């Protein structure tokens, strides 16, 4: 792991953006924000993978659980990613959202990926 340091908060990134007009600095600020949003999306997709694996094998993959835990801990370093709150979903709504993500994964990787599940039992 890299050295520990204080990550800039969302409000600090906004202050930096306002203070610096140099495009290279602004690109770095945009990259930081992009990666933070990416982490949220990656976490959601990993949850789908975990659920699919568990449904198919009735087991859990330690690597997936560890990855989810790492990603869940990242926001503790930098705080909120956006001022817009993530919607509070009921369990049924959350399941529907995850099924939508699963559909997007299948659309992106096609039928081929569904047929390439490894049987590690």
Task: Indicate whether 114 belongs to any domain.
Answer: no
pLDDT digits (tens, 9 = 90+) for 35-80: 988 888 888 889 888 988 888 899 999 999 999 888 888 888 888 7
Per the domain annotation, does 53 fall within a domain? yes
Of 79, 81, 53, 57, which Cα lies nearest the Cα of 65?
53
Total count of residues recorded for the chain: 121
pLDDT tens, residue by residue, 73-106:
888 888 877 777 666 777 788 778 777 877 776 6
Domain membership of residue 30 (yes or no) is: yes
Contacts of 50 (CB under 8 A, 6+ apart): 60, 61, 64, 65, 68
pLDDT on residue 73: 85
Rg (CA), the chain: 18
pLDDT band at 15 (very low <50, low <70, confident <90, very high): very high
pLDDT > 80? residue 19: yes
Residues spanned by the domain of 67: 10-88
Question: What's the pLDDT score for residue 8?
Answer: 92
Name the one residue in this structure whose structure tokens are 């992009």. 34
Number of compact structural domains in the chain: 1
Residue located via tokens 């976490």: 43
Classify residue 114 as exposed, middle or buried by CB count within 10 Å of its CB (0-12, 13-18, 19+). exposed
């Amino acid at each position: 792991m890299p050295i520990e340091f204080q990550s800039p908060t969302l409000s600090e990134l906004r202050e930096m953006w306002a203070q610096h007009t140099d495009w290279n600095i602004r690109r770095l600020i945009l990259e930081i924000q992009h990666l933070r949003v990416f982490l949220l999306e990656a976490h959601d997709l990993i949850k789908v993978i975990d659920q699919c694996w568990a449904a198919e094998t009735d087991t859990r993959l330690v690597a997936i659980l560890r990855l989810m835990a790492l990603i869940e801990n990242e926001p503790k370093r930098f705080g909120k990613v956006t001022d817009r709150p993530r919607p509070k979903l009921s369990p049924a709504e959350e399941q529907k959202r995850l099924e939508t993500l699963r559909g997007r994964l299948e659309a992106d990787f096609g039928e081929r990926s569904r047929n390439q599940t490894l049987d590690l039992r």
